Amino acid sequence: MRVDVGYATRLYRRAPGDPLGTSWTLVTPEAPRETRFGGLFPIEGDRWIVSVGGWQGDHAPTDEKAFSEYVRQLASPDIHRIVTQAEPISEIMPFKYPSSLRRHYERLRRFPLGLLVLGDAICSFNPTYGQGMTSAAKQAAALDATLAEGVAGPRLAQSFFKRAASIVDIPWQLAVGEDFRYPTTSGPKPAGIDLLNRYVAAVHRATLIDPEVCRAFLKVMNLIEPPASLMAPRIVLRVVKANRRLREQKARSLEPVLTRP
């Protein structure tokens, strides 16, 4: 599934007393109108790691001046402040990811004895969602469980790949759903994904003002809970209420100001 994502990462010196150093900032685009994202994270060694980039060819440049201007156009000024004021301690390192790819080894009737594959060799996701390492770790745990059960010989690959496929299903659905918010994304499009994405867009808006919805969404994105948990009645109700509040706030902000003569 072609996504044409590209981003650039750089490390900066972080002042130990910087108040921003106790939290992180993540800017995500409102698809399909926006394509750029950015992340600012405090890491060990009194450093910041900054990553910025975009979908569909809107990639971050590696030229110093152009990189700063690219960051300036993000919604959060915090990232731009670090880029312009903090001391850079690495080069600007680019990475480009043209397509997500899934291989269905579980559909094979035979597989070479003594060999297995896992991680990106089974499925590589759009890396901006941060799910590849979690998926690989869960596949390793599934392999451990399979071996502990005494499964061996020709049955090992079949049993493991079946378990791995069930692990990959959820992050693959999440990545595919998010990427198809852009009409230029190409590849096999699951049925009903446009309807689902409209609800997910409402969930995204609700996370701005409802911590419970935000918590539920992050649990799904981090593979702690299944996507169906976002359809729980209490979450749906909170999403509806939050979007209503946002519409009312927007309407009030657009009301004309009446002045007395």
Reported as a single tens digit per residue, the pLDDT across 104-123 is 999 999 999 999 999 999 99
pLDDT of 71 = 96
Sequence-ordered alpha helix ranges (H) in 73-210: 77-85, 132-148, 154-179, 193-206
Where along the chain do its domains lie?
Answer: 2-98, 101-179, 193-253
The pTM is what? 0.80
Q: Taking a C-beta distance cutoff of 8 angstroms, is the pair 53, 25 a contact?
A: no
Cis peptide before 211 (omega within 30 of 0): no
Place of tokens 């390192």: 93
Question: What is the rounded average pLDDT of the residues 3-7?
Answer: 95
Give the tens place of pLDDT for each residue, 134-167: 999 999 999 999 999 999 998 999 999 999 999 9
- The class (CATH top level) of 2-98 is alpha beta
Question: What is the rounded average pLDDT of the residues 198-227?
Answer: 91
